[in-house]
Amino acid sequence: SFKPRIFSGIQPSGGLTLGNYLGALRRFAGFQGTGPETIYCVVDLHAITVWQDPAELSRRTREIAAAYMASGVDPEQSILFNQSQVAAHAELAWLFNCVARLGWMNRMTQFKDKAGKNSENSSLGLYAYPSLMAADILAYRATAVPVGDDQKQHVELTRDIAAKFNHDYGVEFFPQPTPLIEGTATRVMSLRDGSKKMSKSDPSDASRINLTDDADTITAKIRKARTDAEPLPGSAEGLKDRPEAKNLLNIYSALTGESIDEILGKFEGQGFGTFKPALAEIAVDVLAPITSKMSQFMADPAEIDRILGKGATRAAEIAQPVVEEAKGIMGM
């Protein structure tokens, strides 16, 4: 049996969105002090699978660290660090490149979404991304991974890699980590297109709420969010085939903790002209303190660097021996 450990990561590939916050970030602090060790990472090696402006990458790396802390991750209680500062991630990823099968990678929907029609021109790193993610998790022999729904397939692949390594070498060395995907905001959708997830890498800024947006911007984006013209139904059943409406209700539910039926009980028969301002007010109330704490942390970049440096030392103390042992198992 494996020591319970929680691992999760966020890419510094753009400003954080309400989707990142509700699906992942805001859940992280809650695992602190509950038993398992908590390890949270800024995954810059994942971000560079598509070209990043170097100065922006450094700034965003600090911004993600600030967001973790602003949402309650305490660098004393958790290990908070930046991926590229711990060499074990890249080293274990190579070992896993030799364990994972091409056929497994070919099934990954995120690669297909991100590479689009021009996959021949994608980086090799974008293709191998899930193998690096498996290394992130398994370098700590983590047992649980809180993520949004879009990462479920990658955590399942991590389980397959762990199982194949154990099987190929006749060991019980790596655990099979469980994806922790919970709540009504496991997949927050774009405000412009109910069939696409809200993403920091979407070229349309109107498609998402950024954690750095001010109150007026958040209110305007919600007011302009695409919806149908029907009034709100009396229960969740009536949201079937209304993806945009459903998305806004899911966001409201995740922000308040009320069930969809409870919310619809209050808004039944009303139009979005009434619902959207109510949602905007709640979103602003929840996000404003996070935004303000983020900018307080960002005012002292040297302190963020110090915290990340200390976190990297603690992370390497766990991860490097795991990689050494994995190499030993393989005969190296």
DSSP 217: H
> Of 16 and 99, which has the nearer Cβ to Na ion?
16
209 within 8 A of 218, measured Cβ to Cβ? yes
State the Cα–Cα distance between residues 7 and 24, nearest whole angstrom. 11
112 catalytic residue (yes or no): no
Task: Tell whether residue 218 is a contact of ligand ADP (CB under 6 A).
Answer: no
What the block records as the tokens of 106 is 């070919």
Strand ranges inside the chain, DSSP E: 5-10, 37-42, 79-82, 144-146, 178-180
Please report, as residue ranges, which positions from 134 to 173 form the binding site for Na ion (by CB under 5 A). Answer: 150
Interface size with Na ion, residues (CB under 5 A) = 1
Catalytically annotated residue among 3, 152, 164, 200: 200
Q: Which of 92, 198, 211, 316 binds ligand ADP (CB under 6 A)?
A: 198
Q: Which of residues 149-178 bind ligand ADP (CB under 6 A)?
A: 150-151
Rounded to an integer, what distance in angstroms lies between the CA atom of residue 303 and that of residue 307? 6
Asked if 23 is part of the footprint of ligand ADP (rule: CB under 6 A), the reply reads yes
For residues 150 and 244, which CB has a smaller minimum distance to Na ion in the complex?
Answer: 150
Distance CA 42, CA 54 (A): 15
DSSP 21: I
Strand 79-82, strand 37-42: pairing: parallel
Cα separation, 170 vs 45, whole angstroms: 31
293 has catalytic annotation:
no
According to the binding rule CB under 6 A, does residue 200 interact with ligand ADP?
yes
According to DSSP, the residues that pair with 197 across neighbouring strands are: 189
- Residue 81 backbone phi and psi in degrees, to 5: -155, 175
Given 114, 164, 196, 276, the catalytic residue: 114
Decide: helix, strand or coil at residue 81: strand
310 is catalytic: no
Residue number of the CB atom closest to ligand ADP: 23
Does 19 contact ligand ADP by CB under 6 A? yes
| Catalytic member of 164, 197, 224, 240 | 197
User: Is position 184 an interface residue for ligand ADP (rule: CB under 6 A)?
Assistant: no
Closer of 27 and 141 to ligand ADP (Cβ): 27
Interface with Na ion by CB under 5 A: which residues? 150
Interface with ligand ADP by CB under 6 A: which residues? 10-11, 13, 17, 19-20, 23-24, 147-148, 150-151, 185-188, 197-201
Residues identified as active-site: 114, 197, 200
